Amino acid sequence: MTEYERDYPLFSLCGLNCGLCPRHWSDGSSKCPGCGGKDFHLKHPSCAVISCAKKHRGVEYCFLCPDFPCKRYENIGEKDSFVTYRNVLRDLNRAKSGGLEEYKAELDAKVSFLKLLLDKYNDGRKKNYYCLAVSLLEPSDLEDVKSEIGKIEDFIPLKEKIKIIEVLFGKKAERRGIELRLRK
């Protein structure tokens, strides 16, 4: 694939939230810049969705295509890779109905919260879990968890803080019937 660039690589053409993907937060050669980010074409030399978009007048997001939702989205949420695909259609439809700028603001808030979790509450083994929880839970759930995290005392060891955060996320996920694990 030739170079492919986008102004906002955190929300992909196909609806993935690249800014919430563990590979986006990796260091080293496996780091992904997000859809259409710097050197994206080197990380993902072929992408069927980008090829399809080029055939459809270069739409920036699939929801802008007159054929959306197409066959590509029939089984989109059945399996995951590094990032969950469960909310792809929901997120594309949110961006379509509520407006792209509103959706970007929501995603930016999620990315900011994820960064806080990774910077302050990660023992080196929670990145995938935090990415998944932030991706799947609703913004209101995340605000509640963030508020509760703010009450955790500084003197509590990191391991205990992480357990508290896992319980907080677990309760929110359980209320929504969400399982916080990738489906392979």
* 101 contacts 126 by C-beta, under 8 angstroms: no
At 33-92, the pLDDT tens digits run 988 888 888 877 788 888 888 888 889 999 999 999 988 888 876 777 777 888 999 999
- Residues 85-140: pLDDT tens digits? 889 999 999 999 999 999 999 999 999 999 999 999 999 999 999 999 999 999 99
Say how far apart CA 127 and CA 148 lie, in whole Å.
19
What are 140-161's pLDDT values in tens digits?
999 999 999 999 998 999 999 9
For the chain, the structural domain boundaries read 18-176
* Global pTM value: 0.91
User: 142: buried, middle or exposed (CB in 10 Å: 19+, 13-18, 0-12)?
Assistant: buried
Query: Cα(124)–Cα(72) distance, rounded to whole angstroms?
Result: 35
What confidence score (pLDDT) does residue 77 get? Answer: 66
